[in-house]
């Protein structure tokens, strides 16, 4: 392209030789101005945009010891990485943002430049899971050219039907360091640019989000593409329980033949059979749901199905319905495990781009005698972790120091550690054959044999990440009448294993529970959606030994489970009965009192706006 003097041509579409995006044929191209770059050829492909500078960037060349370095500037973006396109009218292009050659060409000309902004993201060089906002401003003197590009890009973005259009947002103003409102304000422009309608509710009391989700019908929720929690793990747990309680109709967790509790009629001991029908009840017990402050609030009871071969009923509002979290809590373990980073901007981008990943959910059932001498089950759901003993004592102790903010957990943990309490309990867990607990173990063993290696190396650990093979693997019985939400409960080789003794803690991890203080989490190999709980039992041990176990949790690449006093089992279900002095359960950061408890996991029960961490 030739120019004479100051004749700067920004005319219509032109054809120029340009490298295609991943070898794909271009749809059309134009000559435009790109902010900070100058004149470029912008080309649209079926899956992205690509641009090529017509002249070298004179201003951006630096030298060292006589060697010239030209910085690498992005020259393409995938349509899937674009979250919004904005047309800006009646605004002049900034001359200071252009290279000198372009400035000289435009100098002295009163040219009005229309422009549009392509909003997207790039991945951080230091942390691939963290997404950084970026924008590319293109300009042209012809209004119709800019409008054509904006309309064309909008039409392509609309084809991506998985992107949400309407969301219900709950904001916890006092979560974590009281950043809930501030974090939402920081990401709200992303939703606005992406033309996502949001109904924002800032909660004013404990349990408000639970009450609202509990009372909303599927017809009301069907107008939304998902629910967003701006808060921590406990706040998400509140919303999750309000959503699942009236909707999920499932059998109670299976129990071993000798798991007994008090009968309804005369208080006699009764064996709870797995096929026993437990009637649905709406009566209240003397202690209220921990998230609900009002004593008059009723709690929803979930009816039990009469046999294992009946699939859980779970009518979702619509096929695109998902949950999202804008991290604002003390630990934000669920966000770190599902997106790979604790960053509000990254989480917001996952949501507006319509990412999708399935998440296991644990059903925790407390069996308790009411004042009317009836055995009444109380159901809770957990997305990350349920812990007894040390973990329950920490959450109980921390309630005394809420005024301290997130640091109260460190203080409470130190106090509980110094007491070094242990609790007597009996735990039974459902053991299934080893090939089921690790579907990739056979492939890993065969691979090691081919290499002549005997023991698996640390790098061979199957860590859950984006497009995880384990989580995406369909269970063998998925095509049968047996529900695929609980595939491992129906193993022919299953058996109950019982252990009894004194324990410092008993925990069940649904996911790895990674956080800033435990970079690998409680269980590094835990997956987001494999249908297993990780049962971790810490037996009574010397103070120093337990300290070494806790120290390993804080180390990247540590081995917190490699101790004789630590038992770790992958299981789809377990039961718990305490005796003597009792602790409480910590269920996703909320207290849950239970003397007798049973739990099971539902595989991939809910869908999150996330992809899994990028490792």
pLDDT tens by residue, 250-273: 889 988 887 865 333 333 322 333
The answer to whether 144 and 116 have CB atoms below 8 angstroms apart is: no
Sign, CA dihedral 142-148-150-151, equals positive
The answer to whether 259 and 500 have CB atoms below 8 angstroms apart is: no
Angstrom CA distances, 603 to 85, 232, 245, 361, 483, stand at 37, 23, 17, 7, 10
138-148 per-position pLDDT tens digit: 998 888 999 99
Domains and CATH numbers, the chain: 28-159 (2.30.29.30), 167-608 (2.60.200.40)
536-559 per-position pLDDT tens digit: 999 999 999 999 999 999 999 999
Cβ–Cβ contacts within 10 Å for residue 74, how many?
12
The answer to whether 428 and 498 have CB atoms below 8 angstroms apart is: yes
Better-scored residue on pLDDT, 507 or 295: 507
Q: Taking the model in full, what pTM does it have?
A: 0.82
Residue whose C-alpha is closest to residue 597's, from 431, 395, 425, 396: 425
Q: Is 372 exposed, middle or buried (0-12, 13-18, 19+ CB in 10 A)?
A: exposed
Mean pLDDT check: name the lowest of 12-26, 156-170, 229-243, 568-582.
12-26
Identify the pLDDT of residue 525. 92
Q: Which runs of consecutive H residues, i.e. helices, occur in 222-306?
A: 233-244
Q: Is 124 exposed, middle or buried (0-12, 13-18, 19+ CB in 10 A)?
A: middle
Q: Is 502 exposed, middle or buried (0-12, 13-18, 19+ CB in 10 A)?
A: middle
pLDDT above 90 coverage of the chain, percent: 51
The tokens for 497 are: 């294993």
Identify the pLDDT of residue 8. 42
Mean pLDDT of 32-54: 89
Whole-number average pLDDT of the chain: 79
Nearest-angstrom CA–CA distance, 260 and 373: 15
β-bridge pairing 226-231 and 166-171: parallel
Mean pLDDT of 6-31: 57
Identify the pLDDT of residue 440. 46
pLDDT band at 490 (very low <50, low <70, confident <90, very high): confident
The answer to whether 541 and 565 have CB atoms below 8 angstroms apart is: yes
User: Is the pLDDT at 434 greater than 50, yes or no?
Assistant: yes
Mean pLDDT check: name the lowest of 99-108, 347-356, 360-369, 476-485.
99-108
Mean pLDDT check: name the lowest of 9-18, 389-398, 479-488, 510-519.
9-18
**Active-site residue list:** 233
User: Is the pLDDT at 11 greater than 50, yes or no?
Assistant: no
pLDDT above 70 coverage of the chain, percent: 73
Angstrom CA distances, 528 to 6, 86, 322, stand at 60, 36, 15
């Amino acid at each position: 392209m030739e120019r004479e003097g100051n004749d700067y041509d920004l005319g219509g579409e032109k054809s120029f030789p340009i490298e295609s995006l991943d070898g794909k044929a271009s749809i059309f191209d134009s000559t435009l101005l790109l902010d900070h770059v100058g004149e470029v050829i912008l080309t649209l492909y079926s899956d992205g945009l690509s641009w090529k500078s017509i002249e070298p960037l004179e201003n951006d060349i630096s030298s060292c010891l006589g060697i010239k370095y030209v910085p690498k500037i992005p020259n393409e973006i995938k349509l899937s990485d674009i979250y919004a396109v904005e047309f800006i009218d009646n605004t002049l292009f900034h001359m200071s943002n252009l290279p000198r050659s372009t400035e000289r060409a435009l100098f002295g000309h009163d040219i009005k430049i229309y422009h549009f902004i392509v909003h997207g993201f790039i991945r951080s060089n230091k942390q691939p899971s963290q997404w950084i906002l970026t924008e590319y401003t293109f300009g042209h003197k012809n209004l119709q050219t800019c409008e054509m590009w904006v309309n064309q890009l909008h039409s392509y973005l609309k084809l991506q039907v998985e992107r949400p259009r309407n969301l219900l947002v709950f904001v916890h103003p006092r979560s974590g360091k009281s950043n809930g409102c501030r974090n939402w304000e920081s990401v709200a422009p992303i939703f606005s640019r992406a033309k996502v309608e949001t109904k924002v509710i800032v909660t004013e009391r404990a349990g408000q989000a639970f009450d609202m989700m509990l009372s909303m019908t599927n017809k009301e929720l069907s107008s939304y593409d998902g629910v967003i929690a701006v808060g921590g793990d406990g706040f998400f747990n509140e919303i999750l329980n309000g959503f699942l309680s009236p909707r999920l109709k499932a059998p109670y967790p299976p129990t071993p033949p000798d798991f007994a509790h008090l009968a309804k009629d005369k208080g006699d001991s009764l064996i709870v059979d797995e096929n026993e029908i437990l009637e649905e009840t709406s009566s209240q017990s003397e202690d209220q749901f921990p998230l609900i402050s009002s004593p008059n609030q009723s709690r929803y009871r979930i009816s039990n199905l009469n046999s294992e071969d009946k699939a859980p009923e779970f009518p979702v509002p619509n096929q695109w319905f998902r949950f999202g979290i804008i991290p604002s809590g003390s630990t934000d373990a669920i966000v770190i495990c599902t997106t790979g980073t604790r960053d509000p901007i990254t989480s917001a981008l996952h949501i507006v781009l319509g990412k999708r990943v399935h998440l296991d959910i644990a059903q925790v059932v407390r069996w308790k005698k009411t004042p009317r001498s009836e055995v009444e089950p109380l159901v809770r759901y957990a997305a990350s972790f349920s812990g007894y003993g040390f973990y329950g004592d920490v959450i109980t102790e921390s309630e005394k120091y809420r005024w301290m903010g997130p640091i109260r957990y460190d203080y409470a943990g130190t106090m509980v550690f110094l007491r070094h309490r242990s609790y007597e309990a009996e735990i039974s867990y459902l053991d299934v054959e080893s090939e089921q607990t690790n579907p990739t173990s056979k492939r890993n063993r065969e691979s090691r044999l081919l290499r002549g290696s005997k023991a698996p190396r640390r790098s061979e650990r199957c860590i859950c990440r984006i497009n995880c093979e384990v989580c995406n693997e369909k269970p063998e019985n998925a095509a049968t009448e047996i529900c695929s939400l609980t595939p491992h409960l129906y193993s022919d080789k299953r058996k109950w294993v019982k252990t009894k003794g004194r324990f410092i803690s008993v925990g069940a991890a649904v996911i790895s529970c990674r956080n800033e203080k435990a970079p690998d989490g409680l269980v590094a190999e835990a997956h987001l959606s494999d249908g297993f709980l990780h049962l971790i039992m810490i037996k009574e041990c010397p103070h120093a030994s337990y300290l070494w176990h806790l120290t390993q949790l804080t180390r990247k690449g540590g081995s917190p489970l490699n101790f004789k006093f630590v038992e770790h089992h992958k299981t789809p279900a377990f039961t718990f009965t305490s005796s003597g002095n009792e602790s409480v359960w910590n269920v996703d950061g909320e207290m849950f009192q239970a003397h007798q408890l049973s739990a099971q996991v539902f595989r991939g029960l809910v869908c999150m706006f996330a992809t899994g961490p990028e490792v």
